[in-house]
Amino acid sequence: MHESEMWNLWHGCHRKSEGCRHCYVFRRDMQHGIDSEIIRKTAAYDLPLRRNRQGGYKVPPGTIMWTCFTSDFFIEEADEWRDDVWGMMRRRSDLNFVIATKRPERIKSCLPADWGEGYANVAVCCTMENQRRADERLPLMREAPLLHKSVICEPLLERITFRGKLDAWCEHVTVGGESGPAARMCDYDWVLDIRRQCVDAGVSFHFKQTGAVFRKDGLVYRIPRSEQSEQARCAGVNYHAE
């Protein structure tokens, strides 16, 4: 089992689509009087290259680095920094980087000159929270020159049909509801419908968490944060494609 680490390169974002409505970045920043619309590098920007006292890298080989959880990796304001970041990822070919984005339309124009078919240690995961965004983003992800790509439907806001555009290019689909005080409802039928499409397409499926307001068999449940992942796990609907 590999270790994992958060690598938050830059902070700040602009709301991009319906799933951003209750973004926790804006919620938390507001509590601290911070303007979330200002994009800035964080203190952890060069984390993969930091050395320990023995001269080795602080982040050990094999670590999974989850990037940009208070911004979007492909946001415009970070264009001037991204080549430097690709360089860090290239140097640390012994780490695995995971990038989540709601801006797949920017991927192609943001790739480095030596990208080729993709860096083997970089995976991109695109969020599609409703039908409109799945229709927009699925074709873009399908065409994107990436060696590892996946889909995340979170917060799942309605039933989504992939219209036959999901197949082996996608390594896995993750589904989850919305958290927070104003969470919108997630219906278990929508979750199972995505699972069925994944099984038909031979794509792995992970039900990550129920969200705070979850409907099952017509009944609506309020689920505390601490139980949302466990409830999803107990549903026993995860699927591993061969």
Q: Please tell me the distance from the alpha carbon of residue 92 to that of residue 95, in angstroms, as a whole number.
A: 6
Complex with ligand SF4: residue 72 or 187, whichever CB lies closer: 72
- Report which of 164, 167, 163, 117 is spatially closest to residue 144, judged by C-alpha positions: 117
Considering CB under 6 A, how many residues would be counted as binding ligand SF4? Answer: 9
Burial class (CB in 10 A: 0-12, 13-18, 19+), 90: middle
From 12-20, 106-114, 133-141, 222-230, give the range in contact with ligand SF4 by CB under 6 A.
12-20
* Binding to ligand SF4, residues 22-41 (CB under 6 A): 23, 25
DSSP-derived 3-state class of residue 107: helix
3-state secondary structure string across 135-171 = HHHHHHHHHCCCCEEEEEECCCCCCCCCCCCCCCCCC
Using CB under 6 A as the binding rule, whether residue 13 contacts ligand SF4 is answered as: yes
From 19-27, 48-56, 88-96, 118-126, give the range in contact with ligand SF4 by CB under 6 A.
19-27
Contact 129, 103 (CB under 8 A): no
CB of 232 to ligand SF4, least distance (A): 20
Query: Binding residue for ligand SF4 (CB under 6 A) from 5, 8, 16, 180?
Result: 16
- Report which of 155, 162, 172, 152 is spatially closest to residue 197, judged by C-alpha positions: 162
* Binding to ligand SF4, residues 71-100 (CB under 6 A): 71-72
Complex with ligand SF4: residue 48 or 155, whichever CB lies closer: 155
Using CB under 6 A as the binding rule, whether residue 216 contacts ligand SF4 is answered as: no
Residues contributing to the site for ligand SF4 (CB under 6 A):
13, 15-16, 20, 23, 25, 71-72, 102
